[in-house]
Structure 1
Amino acid sequence: MNADEARMMNYLAEHEGEAIDLLERIVNIDSGSYDKAGVDAVGEAIMGFVAAQGIQTGREALDTAGDAFTARLPGTTNGAHLLLMGHRDTVFKTGEAKVRPYTVKDGRAYGPGVADMKAGLAMNALVMTAFAKLGLPHPPLVMLVTGDEEIGTPASRPAIEAAARGARAVFNAEPGRVSGNVVTGRRGGIFFRAAFTGRAAHAGLDYEYGRSAILALARKIEAWTALTTKDPDVSVNVGLVSGGLSVNTVAPVAACEIDLRYGNPADRDGLIAKIMAVAAEISVEDTTCTVEIIGEFLPVVTTPEQDTVLALYTGAAAQAGLTLTGEFTRSCADSGITAALGVPTICATGPVGGRAHSDEEYLELTTFLPRAQALALSILRLAEGPDA
């Protein structure tokens, strides 16, 4: 370890507590994807943390989701920038933070979004402030904090693409896997909304006249989920359903939302066509079904360029006391957007956690510092590389 690396390691250790305080603050702010005020409040807290160290911040207003926040540090070396990114929205309803505020027990932190992925955002903010304070060599650094990943990034995708274009590498601070590994491969995913129309009728007096939109929906659910296959790795899940007017009315309307996952980018268009083909089939006479895409994640596919960055990152992680490698995961993330642009992308660089999207979600607090050190050492070593 050289002198610059030792200074960085020590600085992060000395200031870890400040980042954990930030983590507690933002976990205790409700930020479900549709709670724009809460999502933006989390972004403001993070930007306030880095701005206090003189880092330039910016904000792109978005009407239908939390705004896109950026923080930028000019490079002390030439070359392409590095992008540190993450999302601050959660899947939890407003009020959850009051019911389950940030708590610590037996070395684990708990609370809504503590691992997925507010810890990663606090970690990125700490690393940015370390480079701002120490003045150590680094490429240009961009930190992006978005607010709608949990619903497929419908509003923030252009901001992610703009921030990633021309980058040398992307580090997405989703939670580290339970194994301790980072992620180098992910499935793609598409969210659909299906709307059904039928014909209302009194369920007792005029049953035969009615055309049940709910019955049409139920029959199509079976057809959609039958598209699930183990090889290739495709799954279809209908996770939300609604419909009807009253218990004694043949339902004139119904709706559902569909989650499609796939591994091979070449399968995307064919799978969409199959979803649409099921929608076009007449499952109940005189009913209709229309389907629209409401959110999408792209796959992360391993590339030689990604392997090069992974080797550098795992070496830096080893210096921080971690033994890890890259692994494939069946879940989706915004890292697919940057990988699709051809930018080497390492995902799940955040602290290790588990049970995301549940009231048992936890963060392994002992992983916060070494994961921050691994990221910071990677940045230092990228500053030394031939493309710096």
Structure 2
Amino acid sequence: MLADILADTEEMVRCESPSSDAAALARSADVVARLGTRRLGAEPERLGIHLRWRLGAEPSRVLLLGHHDTVWPLGSLATHPCTVDGTVDGGVLRGPGCFDMKAGLALAFHVAAGRSGVTLLVTGDEELGSPGSRELIEEEARAAEVALVLEASAPGGALKTERKGVSVYEVEVTGRAAHAGLEPERGHNATVELAHQVLAIAALADAERGTTVTPTLMSAGTARNTVSAKGFVAVDVRVRTASEQDRVDVAMRALRPVVPGTRLDVRGGPNRPPLAASASVGLFTRAARIAAELGQPPLAGVAVGGGSDGNLTAGVGTPTLDGLGAVGGGAHADDEHVLVGELVPRAALLSALLDELLAAPTKTAPAAGSPRP
């Protein structure tokens, strides 16, 4: 099994798949479809860059969820080649996207093979916030009893039992240009206005509630000797609760200009709802017990700030357990890696968890697209 999981992971990693490159994503979808067909014995439904397998004749009860897009640009393999260092059992697999999350996809193929009542959904735009797949993910989640997300684990193999909600904004300032030396008083300075807004935006954070509001990308002006007529700042918001997400959203939309003659345009809003601990507690308790029965080290669950498609499945009321993919580290970074020796134990945990979930009495799940009670 290990050799096959490694081979599949390496084949996917060697097909680069940056989220913003349509041609690269199409090539990657072809590779993922081919590998999945080989392991699952069935071809997927092709939904653009997204792939869906419905396994078996019985209604789907478990949603396995992953993505094949990465943050790495084309050409990254030249500087970050796909390699396995050390012995196979104790080695380290490296390469762009290996940890986040192509090894997780390889695990999904191997644990889902031969099962019935499972839907495997692999999307191609998760790293962008799932703009084109959100509706599809939510539809599948509503139709399932549980969702298992094959995203990379937290440090030490911990599962992700709570995720912050994510909001993203763009604030554009429009002023009026003027010569900075001859007649600056005729201008309406977008840079100064942007400075006021950045301070006001940052002040919306609330450390006690775990809310971060972070101005990130920023630009203003066109020339050193010109009062700037345009300014822009991007804002990243992370929250633990829906009420905090709403509070920040109202405050962002209530921003008003300070410098006379300038104008604000606030775009964006909530992108992913929080994945609350209550959505994962039952599944985590079950997974921790199974890990102990398998003789594996105690399984930990942690809260993380990053969002995933698990936020979307939990957001429609489906019990969700995240971080079930590869054990390793360095997601999105130069040291991205997978611990090879942890792949088979992870597959064993996933397989046993699926066995138990599929053996449980069937509950009535809402039809796809209908709201949960």
TM-score (norm 1): 0.86
In the TM superposition, what is the alpha-carbon distance from 1:246 to its structure 2 partner?
2.5
* 1:245 aligns with one of 206, 209, 222: 222
Alignment of 1:243-282 (within 5 A): 243-278=220-255, 281-282=256-257
* 2:124 aligns with one of 147, 164, 181: 147
Contact kept? 1:152, 1:191, Cα under 8 Å: no
In the TM superposition, what is the alpha-carbon distance from 1:216 to its structure 2 partner?
1.7
Contact kept? 1:235, 1:261, Cα under 8 Å: yes
* 2:163 aligns with one of 182, 186, 193: 186
* 1:73 aligns with one of 50, 55, 67: 55
Contact kept? 1:56, 1:73, Cα under 8 Å: no
What amino acid is aligned across from residue 45 of structure 2 in structure 1?
Answer: G
Q: Using the alignment, how far apart are the partners of 1:237 and 1:123 within structure 2?
A: 35
* 1:283 aligns with one of 230, 250, 258: 258
What amino acid is aligned across from residue 20 of structure 1 in structure 2?
Answer: L
What amino acid is aligned across from residue 331 of structure 2 in structure 1?
Answer: A
Is residue 19 from structure 1 mapped to residue 9 from structure 2 by the alignment? no
Contact kept? 2:211, 2:244, Cα under 8 Å: no
Q: Using the alignment, how far apart are the partners of 2:298 and 2:351 within structure 1?
A: 16
* 2:337 aligns with one of 348, 351, 362: 362
Q: Using the alignment, how far apart are the partners of 2:263 and 2:100 within structure 1?
A: 38
What amino acid is aligned across from residue 347 of structure 2 in structure 1?
Answer: A
Alignment of 1:193-212 (within 5 A): 193-212=170-189
1:16-62 CA deviation, whole Å, 9 max, x = no partner? Answer: 2222122122223332221122223222211111212421301213x
Alignment of 1:1-388 (within 5 A): 15-53=1-39, 54-61=41-48, 67-75=49-57, 80-106=60-86, 107-128=91-112, 131-132=113-114, 138-278=115-255, 281-293=256-268, 296-303=271-278, 306-318=280-292, 319=294, 321-387=296-362
SS of equivalent residue, structure 2 residue 188 = coil
Bigger mean CA offset, 96-105 vs 376-385 = 96-105
1:256-307 CA deviation, whole Å, 9 max, x = no partner? Answer: 21101110122221110112223xx22322111111116611111123x743
What amino acid is aligned across from residue 46 of structure 1 in structure 2?
Answer: V
SS of equivalent residue, structure 2 residue 276 = coil
CA separation of 1:370/1:285 partners in 2, compared to 1, >3 Å: closer, same or farther? Answer: same
Aligned length: 357
Bigger mean CA offset, 334-343 vs 306-315 = 306-315
In the TM superposition, what is the alpha-carbon distance from 1:320 to its structure 2 partner?
6.3
SS of equivalent residue, structure 2 residue 50 = strand
Q: Using the alignment, how far apart are the partners of 1:298 and 1:46 within structure 2?
A: 28
Q: Using the alignment, how far apart are the partners of 2:220 and 2:97 within structure 1?
A: 31
Q: Using the alignment, how far apart are the partners of 1:176 and 1:263 within structure 2?
A: 20
Contact kept? 1:68, 1:159, Cα under 8 Å: no
Q: Using the alignment, how far apart are the partners of 2:197 and 2:243 within structure 1?
A: 25
Contact kept? 2:42, 2:53, Cα under 8 Å: yes
- Give the aligned CA root-mean-square deviation in angstroms: 2.0
1:213-249 CA deviation, whole Å, 9 max, x = no partner? Answer: 2222222111111212211110011121223222332
What amino acid is aligned across from residue 69 of structure 1 in structure 2?
Answer: L
Q: Using the alignment, how far apart are the partners of 1:171 and 1:340 within structure 2?
A: 14
CA separation of 1:313/1:40 partners in 2, compared to 1, >3 Å: closer, same or farther? Answer: farther
Contact kept? 1:152, 1:190, Cα under 8 Å: no
What amino acid is aligned across from residue 95 of structure 2 in structure 1?
Answer: G
CA separation of 1:109/1:296 partners in 2, compared to 1, >3 Å: closer, same or farther? Answer: same
In the TM superposition, what is the alpha-carbon distance from 1:168 to its structure 2 partner?
1.5
What amino acid is aligned across from residue 328 of structure 1 in structure 2?
Answer: A
Q: Using the alignment, how far apart are the partners of 1:294 and 1:100 within structure 2?
A: 35
Note the residue ranges of structure 2 that are not aligned, 5 or more in a row. 364-373
What amino acid is aligned across from residue 257 of structure 1 in structure 2?
Answer: A
For residue 371 of structure 2, what is the aligned residue in structure 1? none
For residue 366 of structure 2, what is the aligned residue in structure 1? none
1:158-198 CA deviation, whole Å, 9 max, x = no partner? Answer: 11012211211111011111132111111101111222211
Q: Using the alignment, how far apart are the partners of 2:223 and 2:73 within structure 1?
A: 26
Bigger mean CA offset, 289-298 vs 268-277 = 289-298
Note the residue ranges of structure 1 that are not aligned, 5 or more in a row. 1-14, 62-66, 133-137
SS of equivalent residue, structure 2 residue 233 = strand
CA separation of 1:385/1:104 partners in 2, compared to 1, >3 Å: closer, same or farther? Answer: same
TM-score (norm 2): 0.89
